[in-house]
């Protein structure tokens, strides 16, 4: 099946496993991606070293694209973005809309960015970035 989501992310099926904190670790994300969906590591509840280790575990288990979810308002969000870029993560997803600089860094690195927003005006603002 080919959709805008599958074309954009490289997954085979338009199914996204959300990055649920404490639940969506490397095992779930890798299994979802291997099955053709887009697995997402719920890294908002992990330290940066834990997130890095989870990314590497997914990469050991599958060559399929996957994502990492973080909180945009985290004090270490820029550091987390750099880890995602360095590790070759395909999709960055955010709880809350990230700052313009974070989106620009991800876009420059070719990382698909999917922010969660709660209002139309916020979606329009982020889409414009």
pTM for this one? 0.91
Q: In what order do the strands lie in the sheet with 112-116?
A: 39-42, 66-71, 91-95, 112-116
Give the closest residue to 106 by CA, choosing from 126, 123, 91, 116.
91
Angle between helices 26-34 and 48-61 (to 10 degrees): 30
User: Domains along the chain?
Assistant: 4-128 (3.20.20.70)
Q: What is the pLDDT of residue 83?
A: 98
Non-local CB neighbours of 37 within 8 Å, separated by 6+ positions: 11, 12, 13, 15, 16, 17
Q: How confident is the model at residue 117 (pLDDT cuts 50, 70, 90)?
A: confident
């Amino acid at each position: 099946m080919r959709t805008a989501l599958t074309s954009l992310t490289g997954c085979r099926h338009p199914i996204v496993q959300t990055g649920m904190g404490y639940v969506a670790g490397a095992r779930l994300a890798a299994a979802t991606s291997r099955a053709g969906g887009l697995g997402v590591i719920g890294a908002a509840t992990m330290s940066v070293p834990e997130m890095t280790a989870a990314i590497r575990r997914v990469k050991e288990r599958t060559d399929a694209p996957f994502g990492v979810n973080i909180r945009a308002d985290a004090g270490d969000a820029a550091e987390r973005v750099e880890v995602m870029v360095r590790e070759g993560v395909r999709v960055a997803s955010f709880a809350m809309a990230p700052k313009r600089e974070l989106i620009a860094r991800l876009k420059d690195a070719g990382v698909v960015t999917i922010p969660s927003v709660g209002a139309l005006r916020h979606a329009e603002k982020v889409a414009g970035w």
